[in-house]
Structure 1
């Protein structure tokens, strides 16, 4: 009987049907007959109505018993197959939406070389095999980023099977929420309820990766289920429930924690690649497997057939043997930078159960040098040299040699008078030293140049001493470069502090921390005093802005000698990120007007570290799977040849911008990792080889690399079976899938109970009215 009823325990309520029968029996009380002469006149009338009264009472009793029996049967939820008359009345047809997790964690292999993806497609095929193409319907989608709807709801099950057979796993992350949103949109299509009535069953076939369910803003316990469920995911499941859709998560892959080491980062040390110099490459790996492991890490350059370097990694702890920081390791490579142009690197962990995240690529452009424009607003009081003299020569020692070659930086010095006519295109860094005023249009051009990826270093100087140059209420410098917090400077310059002459209370530099690239060089206590003990006699004090966006204080000035008693500190080196670029403000002069930095050896590495930090670029050619690659070319480019991975090259015509100033080509939602080679065909032959040939790389998002499944108890606690039914064994799937066709019979019994109650009420009222009329007569 338990196979016929979903909740057989509710049948005990059928015992309540005996209550009306017991009441009926108790109401038949026996009376002692007492002879009475007047009763003889009523005897004839009583015999005429006695039979009718008995039938009325029996009918009402049966109706009341029927109410209890129908309710108990409805609560027990009788199950019946989809065939026959009852099956048709109960619902019969099934509407199933198959949603397959196509993220790259589904490609993890177990000890029998099986993948979760192969189990997922097998499960989907078995579900389709149980459906009847005459009355059942199905839809198919994948929710590995990006989400893709393969078929809408259709009774053409052969089409769904063909689409399923053609599916391949992607290399994006799990986008469970995006998949459910896509299903919401599918169920909201006009006319869908008329074509496919009744309850819908949504099958999420997935490896139950816990990160897909977590609210990433909450804390999670190390190595445990931890954290809270994504509140938006909960709301989406409730909305689907309101649409009469039942969501079932089917776990595939066995629930094991596979051995998996992922290459999570491949980058240089932040400096631009300069041809002929040695570059520092950092490769970060992390063990997402359960146990400690060892292996080999290889580095490839421009081809992925033969590696140029390798490192042996020993005893890398896993989830059960080490903390989060212990499971990570940084491996460094020294790379002889190749010729000028675009290149790519690939780091590869040789082998484990999940191959997708074993590789990580880096596209980079090798330059012959970095171009710097040094703009001087005039020298200090102690010499007639330009204000940029020491800074320019710290970067480019051979600046005065017209035949110079080599070196990381090539500096061009100009005056602030010539600056407005100088084009900024082609420069990587601009230095403004002792510049207090430039045309407003040039200031806006400079700001836009920084936002597009340029670097700016600003030094104050004696020119700020003029009236109206600075101040709390404004000043020319603040109006041009701070602009109420929207401009280049991180803070407004409010006043000048100190003296032009040597003083007994100079200022010294102190770094706030050593995690910034500029400060890191001076973390060595043997090198640090060469910079931090240099006396500064005068500085430009700024007023920090609370909660300033993109602003970071790197170092401060503090008074020494007699002034140390005040304990006052002034921002010395402050960075502000704007768009793709950055500006740094150093609070004292670039020449020897207010300090003697320029005459000290430490000023050379200090300037070079600042320049390297400001010319660091986030290479837009390094993207994640699912992202869109956009490349701009001059309008003279008429054709683009794209080669994505091992696929044949294809040619595209670029799209001209609205102002016809550039030609653009894009690749949207790239589903696989690999290398993209871009070759531009320039009709006017104006592009250099570096501009004509470019390389981009697509990497997997290693947030998907931890394949540890969500704990079933945590899922039940967070969602409940009414919102999300979790089935760990796909072989147990047939029962809940069939419930949409079987479970409709309870409605018939509920309707029957309501009908019995209505008839009983009407008959009781009618019989009572007749009795009242007979009594009154």
Structure 2
């Protein structure tokens, strides 16, 4: 009922008028005075009427004091009663932009942009809590709306934090929202506006307001067509207020990518990690330092430790220094990581503190295995091609590549199944004379599950058999149907040779910097070709492939394409002198190593996940107990650790898994969803059936782009949204408006009542006092001393002037 309850002690002032009255009622010393006799006689006749006027005057003074103190205390009046009696209902819809750019903190203070948005919400509810009429509030955060839409749920009630609830003066309605912080999700406002419009359409309100509290960055508001379309879903009478909560942007750098280079990730083999830093400022930034560290999870880390930021053993690496990043530029730096233990480890890089801390830190994981087997099958009984491939993949001596070639005869593939092929990380097939249908099925299932397959095509290849087995039944184990062997004519540019680089973004990109001249010594006698797409079978799948290397006559020499999770590399030649001298060229070894890394990548575990993606953990129930722990990331330990149990599915055999999906948590109304939407390192705690526990880290990252803090102009936004009428306010303007706003109707009524009471008090004070009409006659007493009636204070001219006579109970003699 009162905005400033601390001032309620002022109501003690109401007791002052009665105290003054009681003091003036004290008896005075009586003294005979003949001139007063006629006044006493008149007083006795009008005694009741005078006392009534004095009582009314006292009550008026008490009322003046009470109303004045009530106004100072911010009395909100009987709003609930007015609402019950038929007051106006107003629906207020507030959309809070909580994308992670709202965590921007300017150098002028320690409050973030999102804090100012919450302050805007608090000021609004305080004002409405003291206003007359019935005010209903709906609050929707942009991140929740985006998650709901992502989950396929179009219900505004699911996404809204508050849905059409009556605003009370105690502020408890928004207490939970005020305790939140900006999310780590990148999103725009369109989903929130769409769901809010859906809620608004179902509300029966006399008046409706839409408030959008955002930072109005250029990346979201440069093109307003989608936002304008969403705003048109509101009633044309809806009043739209846009509150700009951001300050002018400060310098911001962001780590936009961190990942190990695609390679054979094997313990004891150095791995190159690349980190990308982007400058979102309008000026060049120099001498940027990037801190790097490894977090090891080996046999020594067996349990989840919630008292530490991570359970793994952190080890700092030499920092990186970027000399200069131009305005809007992006620089990628590489550093090497060496870990001798198998298992999944983590890598972290971090920039110094700037305007936006959310994008200064990034993590990834590095899953390291022991040496892996690769299958090599050569159609040549002498296995010369298999020896060439095996010598590159496993050179022996002190060189450790991570691959152990397993050379098998062609008969192995005839009866092969997916289960027989899955233990191999990659398969190399060299000039096989025939392929069975069973082999085609097994190879297709193997590749789709993430396996890598490489073909070397030579003299013994039968094109019709290959096309039928490898490209039928939806299989895509070749880039397109094989045509015929084509000889390469002698000639060409001496600077390039017979082979040149093909498309960009292929497995040979690391070698592309040397140019085509690095391939100038490669000679090609002949190679297989692909059929024209127009002459291919209609049932043949349309596979998209990239040309890694091509002949100088533009025919492909090496291609790569993906099939679900796996990769297929096709070399249209066999590694023999009759076809090409490439195996003897220095470029063949890096090609094989890069191709092997590409083939391994499909079966490699993911190195990071987005915060909105499901958090999954799969394991074998024969090896691990179904009870697991998951530790959530936190910048300030202790961390939250959740115990979970997976349900055993008989149909899944011995495979089990747990999946935590943030979108499903939102739909189910889980209040702890915020803890699962943080970037950093999540940790799974597993217990094996032999009593050995282990910790598996999962790196979670934010989506890039929110780090661009450039602002859109309010005038441009207003112009772009025409004919929609909006009122654009800064957070400071909003605060000033709400500081003097409030219950205007009730406040004016209170002022009017105070004026009426003051006028009544003056009137009653005048009527309750003595006054002489015209010129006061001279009264002569028995002692001959002349006195005017007014000389003895027998008339009152002010609010308190009657205390000398009227409040004494009448004249005394």
TM-based fold match above 0.5? yes
For the pair shown, the structure with the greater C-alpha radius of gyration is: 2
2-structure distance, mates of 1:660, 1:493: 39
Structure 2, unaligned stretches of length 5 or more?
A: 1-76, 149-158, 297-309, 535-540, 663-675, 746-813
The equivalent position to 1:301 in structure 2, one of 294, 302, 314, is 294
2-structure distance, mates of 1:535, 1:498: 12
2-structure distance, mates of 1:312, 1:202: 47
Compute the displacement of 1:137 (Å): 0.7
2-structure distance, mates of 1:245, 1:354: 34
2:390 corresponding residue in structure 1: 392
1:598 corresponding residue in structure 2: 583
Deviations 1:382-422 (A, max 9, x none): xx335422122221224xx9xx9943221111122112336
The equivalent position to 2:428 in structure 1, one of 420, 426, 431, is 431
**Is 2:458–2:572's contact at 8 Å kept on the other side of the alignment?**
no
The equivalent position to 1:490 in structure 2, one of 479, 491, 498, is 479
1:675 corresponding residue in structure 2: 681
The equivalent position to 1:265 in structure 2, one of 248, 252, 257, is 257
1:625 and 2:611 equivalent?
yes
Q: Quick one: structure 1 residues 246 and 82, their matched pair in 2 at CA, closer, same or farther if it must change by over 3 Å?
A: farther
Compute the displacement of 1:609 (Å): 1.8
1:540 and 2:538 equivalent?
no
1:377 and 2:384 equivalent?
no
2:788 corresponding residue in structure 1: none
Compute the displacement of 1:628 (Å): 1.7
Report 1:18-57 matches (<5 A): none
The equivalent position to 1:167 in structure 2, one of 163, 180, 198, is 180
1:366 corresponding residue in structure 2: 368
1-structure distance, mates of 2:186, 2:78: 38
Q: Quick one: structure 1 residues 149 and 495, their matched pair in 2 at CA, closer, same or farther if it must change by over 3 Å?
A: same
1:280 corresponding residue in structure 2: 272
2-structure distance, mates of 1:671, 1:483: 44
2-structure distance, mates of 1:645, 1:413: 46
Q: Quick one: structure 1 residues 433 and 445, their matched pair in 2 at CA, closer, same or farther if it must change by over 3 Å?
A: same
2:645 corresponding residue in structure 1: 653
Q: Quick one: structure 1 residues 556 and 737, their matched pair in 2 at CA, closer, same or farther if it must change by over 3 Å?
A: farther
2:409 corresponding residue in structure 1: 415
SS of 1:391's equivalent?
Answer: helix
1:46 corresponding residue in structure 2: none
1:665 corresponding residue in structure 2: 658
**Is 1:485–1:491's contact at 8 Å kept on the other side of the alignment?**
no
TM-score, with structure 2 as normaliser = 0.67
Deviations 1:470-499 (A, max 9, x none): 2xxxx2211222338751211210112239
1:152 corresponding residue in structure 2: 163
Deviations 1:279-302 (A, max 9, x none): 222111111123333432100111
Q: Quick one: structure 1 residues 173 and 519, their matched pair in 2 at CA, closer, same or farther if it must change by over 3 Å?
A: closer
SS of 1:457's equivalent?
Answer: strand
1-structure distance, mates of 2:269, 2:81: 83
Q: Which moved more, 1:96-105 or 1:446-455?
A: 446-455
1:100 and 2:96 equivalent?
yes
**Is 2:448–2:563's contact at 8 Å kept on the other side of the alignment?**
yes
Deviations 1:354-391 (A, max 9, x none): 11110011111012334311122335xxxx33542212
2:770 corresponding residue in structure 1: none
2:210 corresponding residue in structure 1: 202
Q: Quick one: structure 1 residues 365 and 478, their matched pair in 2 at CA, closer, same or farther if it must change by over 3 Å?
A: same
Q: Quick one: structure 1 residues 97 and 421, their matched pair in 2 at CA, closer, same or farther if it must change by over 3 Å?
A: same
Deviations 1:330-372 (A, max 9, x none): 2221222342111111110022121111001111101233431
Compute the displacement of 1:449 (Å): 2.4
2-structure distance, mates of 1:345, 1:418: 41
1-structure distance, mates of 2:472, 2:732: 62
Q: Quick one: structure 1 residues 271 and 725, their matched pair in 2 at CA, closer, same or farther if it must change by over 3 Å?
A: farther
1:121 corresponding residue in structure 2: 118
2-structure distance, mates of 1:737, 1:438: 82
1:758 corresponding residue in structure 2: none
1:316 corresponding residue in structure 2: 325
Deviations 1:99-118 (A, max 9, x none): 21112111111122221111
SS of 1:241's equivalent?
Answer: coil
**Is 1:273–1:337's contact at 8 Å kept on the other side of the alignment?**
no
Q: Quick one: structure 1 residues 603 and 234, their matched pair in 2 at CA, closer, same or farther if it must change by over 3 Å?
A: same
1:249 and 2:242 equivalent?
yes
Q: Quick one: structure 1 residues 132 and 650, their matched pair in 2 at CA, closer, same or farther if it must change by over 3 Å?
A: closer
Deviations 1:518-563 (A, max 9, x none): 25326426xx6564433222211113549955411121123xxxxx
**Is 2:435–2:465's contact at 8 Å kept on the other side of the alignment?**
no
1:644 and 2:632 equivalent?
yes
2-structure distance, mates of 1:171, 1:104: 5
2-structure distance, mates of 1:498, 1:291: 56
CA RMSD in angstroms, aligned pairs only: 3.6
1-structure distance, mates of 2:347, 2:166: 49
**Is 1:140–1:160's contact at 8 Å kept on the other side of the alignment?**
no
Compute the displacement of 1:126 (Å): 0.3
Report 1:728-767 matches (<5 A): 728-732=730-734
2-structure distance, mates of 1:425, 1:679: 27
Compute the displacement of 1:182 (Å): 2.6
**Is 1:389–1:591's contact at 8 Å kept on the other side of the alignment?**
no
The equivalent position to 1:335 in structure 2, one of 334, 337, 349, is 337
Q: Quick one: structure 1 residues 543 and 594, their matched pair in 2 at CA, closer, same or farther if it must change by over 3 Å?
A: same
2:303 corresponding residue in structure 1: none
Compute the displacement of 1:238 (Å): 1.1
Report 1:128-139 matches (<5 A): 128-132=125-129, 135-139=134-138
1-structure distance, mates of 2:716, 2:441: 55
Compute the displacement of 1:185 (Å): 3.9
1:480 and 2:469 equivalent?
yes
SS of 1:137's equivalent?
Answer: strand
Aligned length in residues = 601
1-structure distance, mates of 2:80, 2:736: 20
Q: Which moved more, 1:594-603 or 1:271-280?
A: 594-603
SS of 1:313's equivalent?
Answer: strand
**Is 1:201–1:737's contact at 8 Å kept on the other side of the alignment?**
no
**Is 2:551–2:557's contact at 8 Å kept on the other side of the alignment?**
yes
1-structure distance, mates of 2:245, 2:532: 55
SS of 2:570's equivalent?
Answer: strand
TM-score, with structure 1 as normaliser = 0.70
SS of 1:109's equivalent?
Answer: coil
1:351 and 2:362 equivalent?
no
Deviations 1:77-106 (A, max 9, x none): xxxx99999999998332112221112111
2-structure distance, mates of 1:493, 1:82: 86
The equivalent position to 1:517 in structure 2, one of 487, 500, 507, is 507
**Is 1:429–1:611's contact at 8 Å kept on the other side of the alignment?**
yes
Structure 1, unaligned stretches of length 5 or more?
A: 1-80, 214-224, 319-323, 559-567, 744-777
**Is 2:80–2:134's contact at 8 Å kept on the other side of the alignment?**
no
SS of 2:684's equivalent?
Answer: strand
1:59 corresponding residue in structure 2: none
Q: Quick one: structure 1 residues 548 and 658, their matched pair in 2 at CA, closer, same or farther if it must change by over 3 Å?
A: farther
2:229 corresponding residue in structure 1: 235
Deviations 1:2-61 (A, max 9, x none): xxxxxxxxxxxxxxxxxxxxxxxxxxxxxxxxxxxxxxxxxxxxxxxxxxxxxxxxxxxx
